[in-house]
């Protein structure tokens, strides 16, 4: 930490010395924070760097033992509504009744005509010096150059990771080269992953692939690779070791539902989640996820988001994804016609059927899930037999027929399928991360 005398001398350093300090800061690991620190030490003032949205990127003050609280950016720049075209500093006076209790130097971060943020120097703990505006200008210009450099580096890394994701899905035969490239990017190419196929509507953001990847990575605490194709977005989401595939898939599905609502509020986003596979089976994962999306697209109505996993549909997805739609609709009417009336009794019977299949045809588990007696479940299934002629408890062929028909009703968002939040079913921990979940297996 600099002493008081050192800070005073620093303000009177030759310009070449300031440039040397900025050059050293530019090659630091956290270069933006380093440049802000140079600005603070050279002026002897508290300095904060904001991005355009008002988030603090870096902050520093000469006396590290004390803190300076800056007002929100909107209060500092309230009279500067026009997008700046240069980094020329502006001296803002202190005004009573506002957030500016002390004078401030405001310099825009502008590079190649693009406004990237604001550098603010507070008149604290010492009064402004005649050279402070010049130091602020030099630092603002250096920050602008570093912003663009970091953006280019990030874009190159993103493109490389996107290309790696495409190669993994395609099953590239040059595994040695693929592994070497992944190691250079810091990607665990040997990890098990679930593949998510996402298709948005016309109103979805252009950078949805990046936003979804970043949101999912933060929420799950696992590595996510993303790539965009002509028809949709692919996410390869790492699965933690020793955690069963159904648990991982349920947590991913819940996370994507939350991400879709936050990142694409206009609706219309649909996504299919595959099971967890080893790297040599990602092509199979792609087919699974795409079939789920095709099922959603064919039978879901409305503009809301829909996210389903391959386990939600099972093998019947092949029939639903590729069969003739009118024939499938007739099939549903033939199987469940008497139960399709829009009344509470019919909904109750369909809900009972759905839970019975979810609980692997276990009477006790079904009764517990529905909160009724086992005999009530038996009576309802008998009622289904009487209405449809299908013996759901004793005939395997009838069971398959009804189960397939129920899948279409689920895709149509039938009221009987409005169940508890997926995250609760996934038994996620308090942090929402999946790397802490216990190993489990789907009951037989």
Predicted confidence at residue 51, as pLDDT, reads: 87
Q: Which of 112, 134, 153 is the last residue of a domain?
A: 153
pLDDT of residue 150: 76
Domain boundary among 153, 181, 206: 153
Q: Tens digits of per-residue pLDDT, 76-92?
A: 887 666 677 888 898 98
At residue 236, the pLDDT reads 93
According to the model, what pLDDT value does residue 148 have? Answer: 80
Is 66 among the domain residues? yes
Q: What is the C-alpha to C-alpha distance for residues 89 and 80, in angstroms, rounded to an integer? A: 12
Q: What is the pLDDT of residue 303?
A: 61
pLDDT single digits (tens) 307-326: 889 888 888 788 888 888 88
pLDDT at 185: 72
Residue 108 lies in a domain: yes
Interacting residues of 240 by C-beta distance below 8 A, sequence separation 6+: 222, 248, 434, 435, 437
Q: What is the span of the domain harbouring residue 371?
A: 324-412
Residue where one domain finishes, among candidates 137, 153, 169: 153
Q: Quick check: is 51 in a domain? A: yes
128 lies in some domain: yes
CA 161 from centroid of its chain's CA atoms? 16
Residue-level pLDDT at 421: 38
User: Can you give the CATH number for the domain in which 134 is found?
Assistant: 3.30.450.40
With residues binned 3-state (H G I as helix, E B as strand, rest as coil), the percentages for the chain, rounded to 5, are 50, 15, 35
Can you read off the two tokens belonging to residue 204?
Answer: 């979805």
Would the pTM count as exceeding 0.85? no
Which CATH number fits the domain that encloses residue 372?
Answer: 1.10.10.2840
Give the three-class secondary structure for 186: coil
**Residue stretches of the chain with pLDDT short of 50:** 1-12, 420-432, 434-444
């Amino acid at each position: 930490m600099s002493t008081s005398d050192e800070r005073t001398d620093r303000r009177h350093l030759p310009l070449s010395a300031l440039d040397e300090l900025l050059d050293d800061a530019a090659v630091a690991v956290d270069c933006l924070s380093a440049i802000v620190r140079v600005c603070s030490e050279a002026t002897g003032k508290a300095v904060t760097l904001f991005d355009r949205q008002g988030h603090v990127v870096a902050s520093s003050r000469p006396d590290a033992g004390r803190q300076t609280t800056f007002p929100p950016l909107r209060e500092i720049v309230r009279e500067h509504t026009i997008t700046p075209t240069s980094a020329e500093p502006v001296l803002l006076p202190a005004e009573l009744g506002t957030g500016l209790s002390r004078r401030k130097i405001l310099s825009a971060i502008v590079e190649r005509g693009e406004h990237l943020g604001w550098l603010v120097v507070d008149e604290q703990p010492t009064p402004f010096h005649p050279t402070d505006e010049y130091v602020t200008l030099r630092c603002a210009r250096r920050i602008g150059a570093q912003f663009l450099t970091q953006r280019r580096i990030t874009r190159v890394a993103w493109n490389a990771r996107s290309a790696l994701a495409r190669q993994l899905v395609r099953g590239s035969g040059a595994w040695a080269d693929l592994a070497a490239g992944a190691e250079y990017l810091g990607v665990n190419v040997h990890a098990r992953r679930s593949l998510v196929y996402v298709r948005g509507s016309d109103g979805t953001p252009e950078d949805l692939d990046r936003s979804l990847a970043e949101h999912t990575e933060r929420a799950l605490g696992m590595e996510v690779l993303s790539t965009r194709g002509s028809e949709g977005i692919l996410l390869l989401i790492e699965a933690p070791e020793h955690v069963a595939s159904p648990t991982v898939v349920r947590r991913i599905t819940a996370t994507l539902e939350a991400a879709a609502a936050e990142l694409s509020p206009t609706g219309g986003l649909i996504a299919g989640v595959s099971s967890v596979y080893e790297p040599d089976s990602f092509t199979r994962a792609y087919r699974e996820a795409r079939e789920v999306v095709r099922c959603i697209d064919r039978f879901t109505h409305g503009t809301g988001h829909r996210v389903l996993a391959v386990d939600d549909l099972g093998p019947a997805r092949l029939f639903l994804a590729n069969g003739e739609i009118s024939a499938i609709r007739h099939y549903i009417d033939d199987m469940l016609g008497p139960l399709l009336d829009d009344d509470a009794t019919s909904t109750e019977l369909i809900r009972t059927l759905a839970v019975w299949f979810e609980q692997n045809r276990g009477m006790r588990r079904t009764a517990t899930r529905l909160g009724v007696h086992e005999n009530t479940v038996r009576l309802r299934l008998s009622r289904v037999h009487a209405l449809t002629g299908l013996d759901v408890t004793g005939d395997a062929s009838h069971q398959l027929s009804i189960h397939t028909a129920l899948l279409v009703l689920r895709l149509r968002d039938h009221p009987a399928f409005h169940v508890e939040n997926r995250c609760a079913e996934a038994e996620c921990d308090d942090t929402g991360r999946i790397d802490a979940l216990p190993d489990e297996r789907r009951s037989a």
